[in-house]
Amino acid sequence: MQVTALRFKRKAKQNLRNARLQSALSKIQVRFVQARADAIADLDDFEAVRQRATAIREGVLANLDAWLERFEQEATRRGAVVHWAETAADVNRIVIEIAQANQVKKAIKSKSMVSEECALNDALEAAGVQVVETDLGEYILQLAHEAPSHIVAPVLHKTKDEVSDLFAKKHDLPRKTGIAELCREARDILRPHFVSADMGISGGNFLIAETGSVLLVTNEGNGRMTTTLPRVHVAITGIEKVVPTLEDATTLVRILPRSATGQDITNYVSVLTGVKRADESDGPEQFHIILLDNGRSAMLGTELQSMLRCIRCGACMNHCPVYQSVGGHAYGWVYPGPMGSILTPLYAGLANTLPLPNASTLCGACAEVCPVSIPLPDLLRELRHRQSTQDLRPWRERLGLRVWMWLALRPLWFARATALASRVGHRLGGAKHRLRWLPGAGGWTHGRDLPAPAGKTFRALYRARKPR
């Protein structure tokens, strides 16, 4: 998937004017925000679970190499093959090699954001392998030739009517309008693919080091069928997803669905270990696990390491006023919202994603709801700092910040400058005490007036106060 984050502002403006998209985005409040609040309220020890989850994730990162090696040993001992991929291109190459070695003609997929990160579908199709998405949301997007706009609900940006139109056109069947009918229609189309596919491709929510297992949480049965029906199963996930024990994974599973969709638990929790044994009727003959780095290890030991704790619940974007208004496609890559505004610059380069760390009000709602306590606003600020020190911001902004810094380090000049600005601002405010335009702050004054300053600085008012 091409990174188009540099077009964030233009896309955000278009999306704000798109009434259909705004109607689709309005679902976030009830489906996610309220649902999470209810689920968290029902959990007596939410804060304790959150602290435990944070400690598990941080503990793993302190010894990531050791836990990954342990995972590889245990997975290999049970018949899986572990592959290491440094880049997205490596993932695609490995999957194509596996497909070619096994004469794979058709691959079915369950939802995997890492495979989106690698643009795996395009690579497989170019290599002559038919790819069928089986997660309902991903299937709809495949029909529409669109990218996901949310990491948990990839088709959040579409209304039911749009899906009805799409199915009628692509399936060449009478238009259905009920959700159950639409689901049944998709199921009828997808079922034959499950039995005829040679390869199943999934993601992995957690890798369990002590058993070499891949843990998957899903709400549709497609995940289980994708991972057990075809003769070859390929699981692709990031290296940071490893946890030491099954118990650690279940602690995280207590908090993941609650934060994501407000469910106590997802409909399916699958622990996939090794290949089909001689006395078993289900399961793949080959189980390949591809562990992707793609910039992750470079975050270790830096100010941004805590971002690797992310368990991809989507709560930060659900609660972000910017995401709620502009939707996921504005962010221009796989990961939207606050987590995407940090991950995309790190994976795709700071210079290619300049608007993203600034696409936040830093209100702190994201950090408040993050189940693994990632200080997202601090990380966004760190990226802004890097943009500035690497001279990636516009010269006007850099000059403005330098002037501000110069003043801030000289209290006398700072006091004079703020007193002058306050007087000028007060005059410009006129009788209504409102500023309709402010140089360099057009974004603020374009949609609303700014209250004019009082004409005196806080210091002056403080000095003039009457003693009690």
Give the 3-state secondary structure of residue 105. coil
Cα–Cα separations (whole angstroms), residue 94 to 91, 101, 162, 414: 5, 11, 36, 59
Give the 3-state secondary structure of residue 317. helix
CB-count burial class (<10 Å; 0-12, 13-18, 19+) for 56: buried
Is 339 a binding residue for ligand SF4 by CB under 6 A? The answer is yes
Q: What's the min distance (Å) between Cβ of 260 and ligand SF4?
A: 8
Are β-strands 81-85 and 106-109 bridged in parallel, bridged antiparallel, or unpaired? unpaired
Q: What's the min distance (Å) between Cβ of 30 and ligand SF4?
A: 19
DSSP sequence for 261-283: TS-SS-SEEEEE-SPPPTT-SSS
Is 314 a binding residue for ligand SF4 by CB under 6 A? The answer is yes
Q: What's the min distance (Å) between Cβ of 316 and ligand SF4?
A: 3
C-beta of 203 vs 212, nearer to ligand SF4: 203
Question: What does the per-residue mask of binding to ligand SF4 show for 358-377, with x meaning CB under 6 A?
Answer: -----------xxxx-x---
What tokens does 287 get? Answer: 């189980």
Is 380 a binding residue for ligand SF4 by CB under 6 A? The answer is no
DSSP designation for 108? E
The 10 Å Cβ neighbour count of residue 302 is 12
Residue from the set 99, 316, 322, 452 that interacts with ligand SF4 by CB under 6 A: 316
**Residues near ligand SF4 (CB under 6 A), total:** 14
C-beta of 256 vs 348, nearer to ligand SF4: 256
Q: Are 282 and 228 in contact (CB under 8 A)?
A: yes
C-beta of 209 vs 315, nearer to ligand SF4: 315
Is 299 a binding residue for ligand SF4 by CB under 6 A? The answer is no
Q: What's the min distance (Å) between Cβ of 67 and ligand SF4?
A: 19
Q: Locate tokens 């910039």: which residue?
A: 295
Q: What's the min distance (Å) between Cβ of 373 and ligand SF4?
A: 8
The contacts found for 303-307 with CB under 8 angstroms, 24 or more apart, are 303/379, 303/382, 304/342, 304/346, 304/379, 304/382, 304/383, 305/61, 306/58, 306/374, 306/375, 306/379, 307/339, 307/342, 307/343, 307/346, 307/374, 307/379
* Region 19-78 residues binding ligand SF4, contact defined as CB under 6 A: none
Residue from the set 291, 315, 330, 379 that interacts with ligand SF4 by CB under 6 A: 315
The 10 Å Cβ neighbour count of residue 468 is 3
Q: What's the min distance (Å) between Cβ of 313 and ligand SF4?
A: 4
Is 311 a binding residue for ligand SF4 by CB under 6 A? The answer is yes
Which span sits near ligand SF4 by CB under 6 A: 69-77, 161-169, 309-317, 455-463? 309-317
Which span sits near ligand SF4 by CB under 6 A: 58-66, 276-284, 308-316, 425-433? 308-316
By CB under 6 A, name the binding residues for ligand SF4. Answer: 259, 310-316, 339, 369-372, 374
